[in-house]
Structure 1
Amino acid sequence: MGTSARESLVLLGILGAGAGLLVLAPIVRVPYPILLVLGGLALGFVPGIPHVALRPDVVLVAIVPPLLYSSAFFTSLRDLRRNARSLSILAIGLVLATVVVVAAVAHATISGLSWPVCFVLGALVAPTDAVAASAIAERLGIPHRLAAIIEGESLVNDATALVAYRFAVAAVLTGTFSLSHATWRFVVDVLGGVAVGLAVGLVLRQIRRRLNHSPTEIAIALLSGYFAYLPAQALGVSAFLAVVTVGVYVGWYTPELTTVETRLQGDAVWSILTFLLNALLFGLVGLQLRPILDSLSGRPVGTLIADAAIVSGTVIVTRLALAYPITYVPRMIPRIRAADPPPPWQWPTLVGWTGLRGAITLAAALALPLTTRAGNPFPERDLLIYLAFSVIVATLVLQGLSLPLVIRLLHLEEDGTSAKEETKARWHAAEAALARLEELSGEDWVRDDTAERLRGLYGFRQRRLSARFDAADDGAIEQQSQSYQRLRRELLNAERAAVVELRRQGRINDDVMNRVQRDLDLEDARLDV
């Protein structure tokens, strides 16, 4: 069997294992990206498994844009605005502080690393990973705002880290560095990335407003991340910020641009695509350990372990130590404290413990040049890749696996914010429906019995929603609803069985069965509301 065929089998195996690990994750209470990395690590040492190279261009161009777009698309613009100060400090201040501290510690403890090379290392391990954060934050079961900060930070900190990375690499290649030029480049990167994202978002909004064809709209949505990433990359500005910007922008306007059919189909497609890409990405990350270790076979194992522990520990401790002043120092200003009171100490503790690194760090490390402009090998390139990978494993595995325990020890739990807002939204939607029903009740085409039945339906829905947060409620309405749900599902199951039996007898064709079954499934899904 050829190498490419064997590599294809490995990739297929990763996807298959990913499906199994997705089922296992809630049972063992471990976020599935971490299980995927562990699975990839184990698979990499199985004899006969071919090495599947993780090319930086494949990661950054093919895999990351749709995942980043999906995370941004489903991110709340309101939450980003509300947490703008915290996110800015985390995305700029914490990233730059991490770069400096890691560089200083590496220079002091790892022999043979020059200052420019140490700053390259600091820039590599500074950004948290948006894909890992999104995949894990939604499963943490923590207060809504805290989850929004953790996820939002990872969406916007890549620009800072990659500018630092670019200039640190340039200093290694040329031997020169300009702080003023780096600062100007950072401003251009950020503003340019946002501008490209907004421009692409405006174009997509106009296009989708004129479309009424679900497959085409979904295809455009799947490609939207690339539509922003590639022009931004060509212009030399932050491609990641461009993707995030277009994702947030399109996500805000999508409810008024799409039909019911497009939203239903699109949600299903995105769910499958993000799972497959996550499985592929984190599985491949795990597979990279063996070839990285092979490239360092001439170095003492003890030294490698010590270096990895020092750098990983520095990354973790730096974030933990700075999470508290980042949270509380700005609130020493009375105006800020009055508008946004200080959170409990558990919040910065968890923010400090959720600095997960991932594919962006590894892709940037693998993208390091092979030689300097003088033609010499890039200094300690293999060691930098190894140390970057060590930080990824340490943060994803050590911190990721311990998150459920840390959350329990901190006594953090969901505050019910999202559930309350959802109930509020559904109540007001029912109120709007009743108001519209009253407006239409005098129309000739509206039957009295139909209007009365709908009035009762929406009235019951409002009473049930109100009862969810009514301390005086005795649960009678909820029990009535649960009884209805159970009975209705029994009847829907009977309908499904009858339709399948008709298809088996040859009395209806598959198209008819699929259409009827789809309607029954939609009714079933509606019962959960």
Structure 2
Amino acid sequence: MIEQVTFYLGTTLVMVLLIILAQRIKVAYPVLLVMAGLVISLIPGIPVLDMDPELIFIIFLPPLLYEAAWSTSWKELWKWRRIILSFAILVVFVTALSVSLIAYHFIPGFTLALGFLLGGIVSPPDAVSAGAIMKFVKVPRRLSSILEGESLLNDASSLIIFQFAVIAVSTGKFVVQDALLSFLWMVVGGVGIGLLVGWLFMKIHKVLPDNVDIHQVLSILGPYAMYIAAEEAHSSGVLATVSGGLLMSYHRFGFLSGQARIRGYNFWSTISFILNGLVFILIGLDLPQIVSGLGDTSIREAIGYGVLITVALVIVRILSCYGAVVTTLVMRNFITVADTSNPGWKTPLLLGWTGMRGVVSLAAALSIPIQLGNGTAFPQRDLILFITFVVIFLTLVVQGLTLPFFIRNFGFAELDYTKPEEKVDAFIEKQFAELALQYMQEHLTEEELAQPAYKKLIKTNSYRLSANGTPDVSEHVKDLYRHILDRQRQWLIEKNRTTMTLDEDIVRKHLYYLDHEEERLLLR
């Protein structure tokens, strides 16, 4: 037991060092971590990793999905909802269908049901990898928003396909009517349960004392409660976690104090960093267990099948991206779409090339039952596991290493947020200054305005109290400043919701600063 703990602690240390190295050499850390895990697994005496799929789904998936939903811009998600839904549902289904047909025709022993099973496993791209790569190169906001939104929803649709395929293989039959009803319940039930649990947690946050530690404990319990509640009701835990996370993120300023939001940002940043890093290095460490179960299939044949499926996935995704663009160009003549410009041939190619696979695919493959209901071995389980690993490894390494090259050389222009960030910052700060002066003029008497503390606020024409300001600040001044911060915060939130050309990343930066100002005021 102690040896296992030492091994995992050492693995965590290696993970941190590799991420530091990845940042130095400008390489996406998932690529290095998967390759490092593979190398470590080949060292003699290294413990064989026996990954429990339930452990991956329950421990890793809810917090990662919740953090992604919390960080996602609802404004951007709604703006690009049509293309995001088409990628998360239609493209996933088309990909699973294509993989099913290819596996049925080219891999011995594969039925259409087994092909759909494999397709459901490898169809969802992993946005963590693409997001890590895009930190090194600048891409238009619309592309990152589409990828973020797709990643929140495609896991749910692929896992639904996977579950139906497991039932079809296990029972030997597939009833369309039952499948449609089950699909409807998984979607509606998952979203409904997630919203209900999220609403309950917001109410709990409101009634509890304003203790930062308590709020952090609740924030980590929330995603697990959403996921488990939905799974127990046989609906989609993924959709529940995403919908609940989006709801709480949208209303974060209504039930959390500024101090709780600041601590929560730091807390979830650390949790996401650790979980994402461990997941990718564990993928590489799991190779020996996967290879040992191949049986009669040679490694060379299994690698060939993995390469075949990988190539098919890349081609189908790229073609689907071009199909989505053509559909948008046609449908804009009949309905209002978010974008009326012609994206050209580069944008669909880039979106198609961002289809790296990751943890959800591996966890789904590992969760395939070992035996059927009659006690016989689940057909082709080990080969499906190996093909999944090859797909993950190739897409992460090949696409992950070449994606920055495409982004840099294609020269994508920012079409939605054309104003420089400095100008947007200046505009927001100017509005804050006007709001502060207006509030003081409305709520202070002439005698109060003559006091030094208020003069300072007026003189600076900003919402900022200098760190070297007057040490003795009365409670009345603090109370005034809190109201000013609240008015500035509400103005910025409303401005963000009503102005589609305002970049939410910049908005969140200023909201985060307002929270810092409020916390600093409490410490004075």
| More moved, 111-120 vs 442-451 | 442-451
Conserved? CA contact 1:40–1:287, under 8 Å: yes
TM-score (ref. length: structure 1): 0.82
| More moved, 429-438 vs 59-68 | 429-438
- Per-residue CA shift, 1:145-173, capped at 9, x if unaligned? 21010011010112221121111111111
Aligned residue for 2:312? 314
2: CA distance, partners of 1:140 / 1:178: 47
Q: CA deviation at 1:438?
A: 2.5
Give structure 2 stretches of 5+ with no counterpart. 469-515
Aligned residue for 1:330? 328
Cα distance change, pair 234–440 in 1 and its aligned pair in 2 (3 A) = same
TM-score (ref. length: structure 2): 0.83
2: CA distance, partners of 1:197 / 1:167: 22
Aligned residue for 2:495? none
- Match 1:233 to one of 231, 234, 238: 231
Query: Is 2:344 the counterpart of 1:341?
Result: no
Q: CA deviation at 1:65?
A: 0.5
Cα distance change, pair 376–423 in 1 and its aligned pair in 2 (3 A) = farther
| More moved, 319-328 vs 424-433 | 424-433
- Per-residue CA shift, 1:160-190, capped at 9, x if unaligned? 2112111111111111012232222222111
Percent identity between the two aligned chains: 34
Query: Is 2:453 the counterpart of 1:456?
Result: no
Q: CA deviation at 1:70?
A: 0.5
- Match 1:170 to one of 167, 170, 175: 167
Q: CA deviation at 1:459?
A: 5.7
Aligned residue for 2:268? 270
Conserved? CA contact 2:190–2:239, under 8 Å: yes
Cα distance change, pair 305–406 in 1 and its aligned pair in 2 (3 A) = same
Matches within 5 A, 1:251-266: 251-266=249-264
Query: Is 2:386 the counterpart of 1:389?
Result: no
Cα distance change, pair 30–244 in 1 and its aligned pair in 2 (3 A) = same
**Could you tell me which amino acid in structure 1 is paired with residue 86 of structure 2?**
I
Secondary structure, counterpart of 2:251 in structure 1: helix
| More moved, 26-35 vs 411-420 | 411-420
Secondary structure, counterpart of 1:329 in structure 2: helix
Q: CA deviation at 1:298?
A: 4.0
Aligned residue for 1:406? 406
**Could you tell me which amino acid in structure 1 is paired with residue 270 of structure 2?**
I
Matches within 5 A, 1:49-60: 49-60=46-57
Aligned residue for 1:156? 153
1: CA distance, partners of 2:326 / 2:338: 13
Cα distance change, pair 55–135 in 1 and its aligned pair in 2 (3 A) = farther
Query: Is 2:66 the counterpart of 1:103?
Result: no
**Could you tell me which amino acid in structure 2 is paired with residue 301 of structure 1?**
I
Conserved? CA contact 1:130–1:151, under 8 Å: yes
2: CA distance, partners of 1:372 / 1:331: 47
1: CA distance, partners of 2:381 / 2:121: 12
| More moved, 413-422 vs 260-269 | 413-422
2: CA distance, partners of 1:148 / 1:94: 17
**Could you tell me which amino acid in structure 2 is paired with residue 435 of structure 1?**
Q
Secondary structure, counterpart of 1:373 in structure 2: coil
Q: Indicate the RMSD between aligned Cα atoms, in angstroms.
A: 2.5
| More moved, 148-157 vs 438-447 | 438-447
**Could you tell me which amino acid in structure 2 is paired with residue 271 of structure 1?**
S
1: CA distance, partners of 2:206 / 2:374: 53
- Match 2:432 to one of 405, 425, 429: 429
**Could you tell me which amino acid in structure 2 is paired with residue 433 of structure 1?**
A
Matches within 5 A, 1:35-434: 35-137=32-134, 139-211=136-208, 212-296=210-294, 298-333=296-331, 334-336=333-335, 340-345=339-344, 346-412=346-412, 419=421, 424-434=427-437
2: CA distance, partners of 1:459 / 1:73: 29
Conserved? CA contact 2:133–2:404, under 8 Å: no
Aligned residue for 2:441? 438
Cα distance change, pair 7–97 in 1 and its aligned pair in 2 (3 A) = same
1: CA distance, partners of 2:439 / 2:99: 61
Q: CA deviation at 1:424?
A: 4.3
**Could you tell me which amino acid in structure 2 is paired with residue 340 of structure 1?**
D
